[in-house]
Protein backbone atom coordinates (compact mmCIF):
# COMPACT_ATOMS: atom_id res chain seq x y z
CA UNK A 1 0.00 0.00 0.00
CA UNK A 2 1.32 3.43 -0.91
CA UNK A 3 2.05 5.97 1.78
CA UNK A 4 1.10 9.56 1.07
CA UNK A 5 3.85 12.14 1.34
CA UNK A 6 3.49 14.08 4.60
CA UNK A 7 0.79 16.75 4.32
CA UNK A 8 0.16 15.98 0.63
CA UNK A 9 -3.32 15.01 -0.46
CA UNK A 10 -3.66 12.37 -3.14
CA UNK A 11 -6.13 12.98 -5.97
CA UNK A 12 -7.15 10.42 -8.62
CA UNK A 13 -8.45 11.86 -11.89
CA UNK A 14 -9.36 10.28 -15.22
CA UNK A 15 -6.64 10.24 -17.88
CA UNK A 16 -8.88 12.43 -20.07
CA UNK A 17 -8.99 15.18 -17.43
CA UNK A 18 -8.69 18.60 -19.09
CA UNK A 19 -5.27 20.23 -19.07
CA UNK A 20 -6.68 23.37 -17.47
CA UNK A 21 -7.89 21.45 -14.44
CA UNK A 22 -4.75 19.33 -14.27
CA UNK A 23 -2.55 22.43 -14.26
CA UNK A 24 -4.54 23.92 -11.38
CA UNK A 25 -4.13 20.77 -9.27
CA UNK A 26 -0.50 20.22 -10.16
CA UNK A 27 0.28 23.81 -9.33
CA UNK A 28 -0.29 23.01 -5.67
CA UNK A 29 2.71 21.63 -3.78
CA UNK A 30 0.42 19.99 -1.25
CA UNK A 31 -1.34 17.79 -3.84
CA UNK A 32 -0.25 14.63 -5.64
CA UNK A 33 -2.21 13.83 -8.80
CA UNK A 34 -2.57 10.32 -10.24
CA UNK A 35 -4.54 9.31 -13.33
CA UNK A 36 -6.63 6.27 -14.21
CA UNK A 37 -8.30 5.07 -17.44
CA UNK A 38 -11.74 6.58 -18.05
CA UNK A 39 -13.23 3.17 -18.86
CA UNK A 40 -11.62 1.27 -15.98
CA UNK A 41 -13.54 -1.74 -14.65
CA UNK A 42 -15.01 -1.46 -11.18
CA UNK A 43 -12.85 -4.20 -9.66
CA UNK A 44 -9.72 -2.64 -11.16
CA UNK A 45 -10.74 0.77 -9.87
CA UNK A 46 -11.11 -0.58 -6.33
CA UNK A 47 -7.73 -2.27 -6.62
CA UNK A 48 -6.22 1.04 -7.74
CA UNK A 49 -7.77 2.88 -4.82
CA UNK A 50 -6.41 0.36 -2.33
CA UNK A 51 -2.96 0.46 -3.93
CA UNK A 52 -2.74 4.22 -3.57
CA UNK A 53 -4.62 4.67 -0.30
CA UNK A 54 -5.11 7.02 1.32
CA UNK A 55 -6.85 8.74 -1.57
CA UNK A 56 -8.41 12.04 -0.58
CA UNK A 57 -10.32 13.03 -3.73
CA UNK A 58 -11.47 11.52 -7.02
CA UNK A 59 -12.59 13.14 -10.26
CA UNK A 60 -14.91 10.67 -11.98
CA UNK A 61 -16.29 10.15 -15.46
CA UNK A 62 -18.71 7.21 -15.73
CA UNK A 63 -17.03 5.17 -12.95
CA UNK A 64 -19.37 4.09 -10.16
CA UNK A 65 -18.56 5.08 -6.60
CA UNK A 66 -20.08 3.90 -3.33
CA UNK A 67 -19.43 2.10 -0.06
CA UNK A 68 -16.76 -0.27 -1.41
CA UNK A 69 -14.85 2.56 -3.05
CA UNK A 70 -15.03 4.69 0.09
CA UNK A 71 -13.60 1.80 2.08
CA UNK A 72 -10.84 1.25 -0.48
CA UNK A 73 -9.91 4.94 -0.49
CA UNK A 74 -8.98 5.04 3.16
CA UNK A 75 -9.53 8.77 3.76
CA UNK A 76 -11.84 10.23 1.11
CA UNK A 77 -12.54 13.93 1.59
CA UNK A 78 -14.51 14.78 -1.57
CA UNK A 79 -15.95 12.94 -4.58
CA UNK A 80 -16.37 14.96 -7.77
CA UNK A 81 -18.07 14.28 -11.07
CA UNK A 82 -16.66 15.74 -14.27
CA UNK A 83 -20.23 16.45 -15.26
CA UNK A 84 -23.59 17.00 -13.61
CA UNK A 85 -25.22 13.54 -13.50
CA UNK A 86 -24.72 11.48 -10.38
CA UNK A 87 -26.88 8.38 -10.82
CA UNK A 88 -23.71 6.23 -10.68
CA UNK A 89 -22.88 7.55 -7.21
CA UNK A 90 -24.20 6.03 -3.98
CA UNK A 91 -25.16 9.34 -2.41
CA UNK A 92 -26.40 7.92 0.93
CA UNK A 93 -23.08 6.10 1.37
CA UNK A 94 -21.19 9.36 0.92
CA UNK A 95 -23.49 11.20 3.30
CA UNK A 96 -23.06 8.54 5.98
CA UNK A 97 -19.33 9.26 5.92
CA UNK A 98 -19.79 13.03 5.62
CA UNK A 99 -18.16 13.07 2.18
CA UNK A 100 -19.51 15.72 -0.21
CA UNK A 101 -20.37 14.90 -3.81
CA UNK A 102 -19.70 17.82 -6.12
CA UNK A 103 -20.64 18.38 -9.76
CA UNK A 104 -19.57 21.03 -12.25
CA UNK A 105 -22.60 23.28 -11.95
CA UNK A 106 -23.21 25.19 -15.17
CA UNK A 107 -19.92 24.22 -16.88
CA UNK A 108 -21.53 22.03 -19.56
CA UNK A 109 -25.09 23.36 -19.46
CA UNK A 110 -24.82 25.52 -22.60
CA UNK A 111 -23.38 22.55 -24.50
CA UNK A 112 -26.28 20.24 -23.60
CA UNK A 113 -28.82 22.95 -24.39
CA UNK A 114 -27.21 23.43 -27.80
CA UNK A 115 -27.22 19.67 -28.42
CA UNK A 116 -30.92 19.42 -27.59
CA UNK A 117 -31.69 22.31 -29.92
CA UNK A 118 -29.52 20.71 -32.62
CA UNK A 119 -31.52 17.48 -32.36
CA UNK A 120 -34.77 19.40 -32.64
CA UNK A 121 -33.53 21.21 -35.73
CA UNK A 122 -32.09 18.05 -37.29
CA UNK A 123 -35.46 16.35 -36.90
CA UNK A 124 -37.42 19.34 -38.19
CA UNK A 125 -35.11 19.96 -41.15
CA UNK A 126 -34.74 16.24 -42.01
CA UNK A 127 -30.98 16.64 -41.78
CA UNK A 128 -29.92 13.01 -42.09
CA UNK A 129 -32.56 12.16 -44.71
CA UNK A 130 -31.80 15.08 -47.01
CA UNK A 131 -28.06 14.53 -46.75
CA UNK A 132 -28.58 10.93 -47.86
CA UNK A 133 -30.77 11.98 -50.80
CA UNK A 134 -27.98 14.11 -52.24
CA UNK A 135 -25.16 11.66 -51.61
CA UNK A 136 -27.11 8.67 -52.91
CA UNK A 137 -28.27 10.37 -56.11
CA UNK A 138 -31.95 10.43 -55.05
CA UNK A 139 -32.53 14.11 -55.79
CA UNK A 140 -35.89 13.40 -57.43
CA UNK A 141 -37.22 12.20 -54.07
CA UNK A 142 -36.50 15.50 -52.31
CA UNK A 143 -40.15 16.51 -51.99
CA UNK A 144 -41.07 13.25 -50.29
CA UNK A 145 -40.30 14.55 -46.81
CA UNK A 146 -40.60 18.32 -46.62
CA UNK A 147 -38.78 19.97 -43.69
CA UNK A 148 -40.67 22.25 -41.34
CA UNK A 149 -39.93 25.29 -39.18
CA UNK A 150 -39.54 25.52 -35.43
CA UNK A 151 -41.14 28.96 -35.67
CA UNK A 152 -44.46 28.90 -33.84
CA UNK A 153 -44.15 25.30 -32.72
CA UNK A 154 -44.92 24.34 -29.12
CA UNK A 155 -42.05 22.96 -27.04
CA UNK A 156 -42.54 21.37 -23.63
CA UNK A 157 -39.34 21.41 -21.58
CA UNK A 158 -39.14 18.93 -18.70
CA UNK A 159 -37.06 20.57 -15.98
CA UNK A 160 -36.03 24.22 -15.60
CA UNK A 161 -32.61 23.70 -14.08
CA UNK A 162 -29.20 24.70 -15.42
CA UNK A 163 -29.80 23.07 -18.82
CA UNK A 164 -33.55 23.37 -19.27
CA UNK A 165 -33.49 27.10 -18.51
CA UNK A 166 -30.82 27.63 -21.18
CA UNK A 167 -32.79 25.67 -23.76
CA UNK A 168 -35.83 27.80 -22.96
CA UNK A 169 -33.83 30.98 -23.60
CA UNK A 170 -32.65 29.70 -26.98
CA UNK A 171 -36.05 28.47 -28.10
CA UNK A 172 -37.89 31.61 -27.02
CA UNK A 173 -35.40 33.54 -29.18
CA UNK A 174 -36.39 31.27 -32.09
CA UNK A 175 -40.01 32.32 -31.59
CA UNK A 176 -41.26 28.97 -30.36
CA UNK A 177 -44.11 28.69 -27.87
CA UNK A 178 -42.29 27.30 -24.85
CA UNK A 179 -43.91 25.59 -21.88
CA UNK A 180 -42.06 24.24 -18.85
CA UNK A 181 -42.99 21.44 -16.50
CA UNK A 182 -40.99 21.65 -13.28
CA UNK A 183 -42.90 21.19 -10.00
CA UNK A 184 -39.88 22.46 -8.05
CA UNK A 185 -39.58 25.85 -9.79
CA UNK A 186 -41.76 28.88 -9.19
CA UNK A 187 -43.93 29.89 -12.12
CA UNK A 188 -42.68 33.48 -11.86
CA UNK A 189 -39.12 32.46 -12.73
CA UNK A 190 -40.32 30.52 -15.74
CA UNK A 191 -42.50 33.40 -16.90
CA UNK A 192 -39.55 35.79 -16.57
CA UNK A 193 -37.72 33.65 -19.12
CA UNK A 194 -40.56 34.09 -21.60
CA UNK A 195 -42.08 30.65 -21.09
CA UNK A 196 -45.29 29.32 -19.57
CA UNK A 197 -45.24 27.12 -16.48
CA UNK A 198 -47.55 24.11 -16.68
CA UNK A 199 -48.76 22.07 -13.71
CA UNK A 200 -50.38 19.19 -15.59
CA UNK A 201 -47.73 17.38 -17.63
CA UNK A 202 -50.15 15.07 -19.40
CA UNK A 203 -52.36 17.97 -20.49
CA UNK A 204 -49.35 19.90 -21.77
CA UNK A 205 -48.04 16.93 -23.75
CA UNK A 206 -51.27 16.75 -25.74
CA UNK A 207 -50.43 20.07 -27.41
CA UNK A 208 -46.67 19.61 -27.79
CA UNK A 209 -44.84 19.55 -31.10
CA UNK A 210 -41.56 18.86 -29.32
CA UNK A 211 -40.66 17.58 -25.86
CA UNK A 212 -37.15 17.95 -24.49
CA UNK A 213 -36.15 16.20 -21.27
CA UNK A 214 -33.82 17.95 -18.81
CA UNK A 215 -34.62 16.49 -15.40
CA UNK A 216 -32.30 14.38 -13.23
CA UNK A 217 -32.63 10.62 -13.20
CA UNK A 218 -34.19 9.60 -9.89
CA UNK A 219 -36.78 7.14 -8.58
CA UNK A 220 -39.33 9.84 -9.37
CA UNK A 221 -38.31 10.18 -13.03
CA UNK A 222 -37.33 6.64 -14.05
CA UNK A 223 -39.94 5.57 -16.58
CA UNK A 224 -41.44 9.06 -16.59
CA UNK A 225 -42.15 8.61 -20.29
CA UNK A 226 -43.78 5.19 -20.33
CA UNK A 227 -46.33 3.90 -22.80
CA UNK A 228 -49.20 5.76 -21.16
CA UNK A 229 -47.39 9.10 -21.19
CA UNK A 230 -46.09 8.68 -24.72
CA UNK A 231 -49.68 8.04 -25.77
CA UNK A 232 -50.51 11.60 -24.66
CA UNK A 233 -48.37 13.01 -27.46
CA UNK A 234 -49.64 13.83 -30.94
CA UNK A 235 -48.61 11.51 -33.79
CA UNK A 236 -46.77 14.53 -35.25
CA UNK A 237 -44.73 15.20 -32.09
CA UNK A 238 -41.01 14.63 -31.50
CA UNK A 239 -39.24 13.59 -28.29
CA UNK A 240 -35.65 14.57 -27.42
CA UNK A 241 -33.73 13.09 -24.49
CA UNK A 242 -30.30 14.46 -23.57
CA UNK A 243 -30.80 13.84 -19.85
CA UNK A 244 -30.38 10.20 -18.79
CA UNK A 245 -31.31 6.80 -20.12
CA UNK A 246 -34.17 5.15 -18.26
CA UNK A 247 -36.33 8.26 -18.09
CA UNK A 248 -37.86 7.11 -21.38
CA UNK A 249 -39.12 3.54 -21.65
CA UNK A 250 -37.29 2.41 -24.78
CA UNK A 251 -39.60 -0.48 -25.79
CA UNK A 252 -42.60 1.83 -25.37
CA UNK A 253 -40.85 4.50 -27.44
CA UNK A 254 -40.11 1.98 -30.19
CA UNK A 255 -43.75 0.87 -30.22
CA UNK A 256 -44.95 4.47 -30.49
CA UNK A 257 -42.52 5.27 -33.31
CA UNK A 258 -43.30 2.16 -35.35
CA UNK A 259 -47.01 2.37 -34.66
CA UNK A 260 -47.39 5.86 -36.11
CA UNK A 261 -48.14 7.38 -32.72
CA UNK A 262 -44.99 9.52 -32.61
CA UNK A 263 -43.16 11.24 -35.46
CA UNK A 264 -39.57 10.87 -34.30
CA UNK A 265 -37.01 11.05 -31.53
CA UNK A 266 -33.52 12.33 -30.77
CA UNK A 267 -31.60 10.30 -28.21
CA UNK A 268 -28.21 11.07 -26.67
CA UNK A 269 -28.71 8.65 -23.76
CA UNK A 270 -29.86 5.06 -23.36
CA UNK A 271 -30.99 2.68 -20.64
CA UNK A 272 -27.84 0.62 -21.24
CA UNK A 273 -24.63 2.41 -22.15
CA UNK A 274 -23.06 1.56 -24.41
CA UNK A 275 -26.27 0.18 -25.94
CA UNK A 276 -26.41 -3.13 -27.72
CA UNK A 277 -25.79 -2.72 -31.48
CA UNK A 278 -29.05 -4.56 -32.20
CA UNK A 279 -31.16 -2.03 -30.27
CA UNK A 280 -34.32 -1.89 -32.43
CA UNK A 281 -34.44 1.90 -32.18
CA UNK A 282 -31.31 2.07 -34.32
CA UNK A 283 -33.15 0.61 -37.30
CA UNK A 284 -35.67 3.45 -37.42
CA UNK A 285 -35.20 6.27 -39.92
CA UNK A 286 -37.11 8.68 -37.68
CA UNK A 287 -34.63 8.32 -34.79
CA UNK A 288 -31.36 10.24 -34.57
CA UNK A 289 -28.79 9.29 -31.96
CA UNK A 290 -25.55 10.37 -30.28
CA UNK A 291 -23.24 8.48 -27.86
CA UNK A 292 -23.97 10.46 -24.66
CA UNK A 293 -21.91 13.43 -25.81
CA UNK A 294 -24.39 16.30 -25.49
CA UNK A 295 -22.36 17.86 -22.69
CA UNK A 296 -18.97 17.01 -24.17
CA UNK A 297 -17.54 19.71 -26.40
CA UNK A 298 -13.99 21.04 -26.52
CA UNK A 299 -15.04 24.08 -24.56
CA UNK A 300 -17.17 22.15 -22.09
CA UNK A 301 -14.33 19.73 -21.33
CA UNK A 302 -12.10 22.66 -20.42
CA UNK A 303 -14.80 24.27 -18.30
CA UNK A 304 -15.67 21.00 -16.56
CA UNK A 305 -12.04 20.11 -15.85
CA UNK A 306 -11.32 23.52 -14.42
CA UNK A 307 -14.48 23.54 -12.31
CA UNK A 308 -13.79 20.02 -11.02
CA UNK A 309 -10.31 21.10 -9.92
CA UNK A 310 -11.78 24.18 -8.23
CA UNK A 311 -14.33 21.95 -6.48
CA UNK A 312 -11.60 19.70 -5.11
CA UNK A 313 -9.47 22.61 -3.91
CA UNK A 314 -12.44 24.30 -2.28
CA UNK A 315 -13.12 21.13 -0.27
CA UNK A 316 -9.47 20.80 0.75
CA UNK A 317 -9.16 24.48 1.69
CA UNK A 318 -12.23 24.62 3.91
CA UNK A 319 -14.14 26.98 1.61
CA UNK A 320 -16.29 24.47 -0.26
CA UNK A 321 -18.34 25.74 -3.22
CA UNK A 322 -21.67 24.87 -1.63
CA UNK A 323 -23.81 25.42 -4.74
CA UNK A 324 -21.98 22.55 -6.43
CA UNK A 325 -22.52 20.13 -3.53
CA UNK A 326 -25.31 17.62 -4.17
CA UNK A 327 -25.65 16.10 -0.69
CA UNK A 328 -25.92 19.37 1.19
CA UNK A 329 -26.66 17.52 4.43
CA UNK A 330 -22.87 17.09 4.83
CA UNK A 331 -22.25 20.83 4.94
CA UNK A 332 -23.35 21.19 8.53
Give the residue numbers annotated as catalytic, written as ranges. Answer: 244, 273, 292
Residue 265 pairs with which residues in a beta bridge? 239, 287
DSSP 155-196: EEEE--SHHHHHHHHHHHHTT-EEEEE-TTS-HHHHHHTT-E
Between 298-316 and 19-26, two packed helices, what is the crossing angle to 10 degrees?
20
Q: At CA 295, angle to CA 289 and CA 301, rounded to 5?
A: 135
What burial class does residue 321 get, using C-beta atoms within 10 Å of its C-beta: 0-12 exposed, 13-18 middle, 19+ buried?
middle
What separation in angstroms does the CA of 288 have from each of 38, 174, 240, 331?
A: 26, 22, 9, 42
Give the three-class secondary structure for 49: helix
DSSP 208-276: -SEEEE----STTTTTSB-HHHHTTS-TT-EEEE-S-TTSB-HHHHHHHHHTTS--EEEES--SSSSPP
Amino acid sequence: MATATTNRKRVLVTETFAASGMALLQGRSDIEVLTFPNGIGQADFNTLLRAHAPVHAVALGPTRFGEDELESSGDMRVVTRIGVGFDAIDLPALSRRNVPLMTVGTANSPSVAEAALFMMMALAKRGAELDALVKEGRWAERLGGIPFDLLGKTLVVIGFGRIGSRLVKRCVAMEMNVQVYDPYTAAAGIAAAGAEAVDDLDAALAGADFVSIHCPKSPETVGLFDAARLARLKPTAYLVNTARGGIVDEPALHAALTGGRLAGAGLDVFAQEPPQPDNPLFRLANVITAPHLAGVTREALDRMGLQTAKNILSAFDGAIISENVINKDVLG
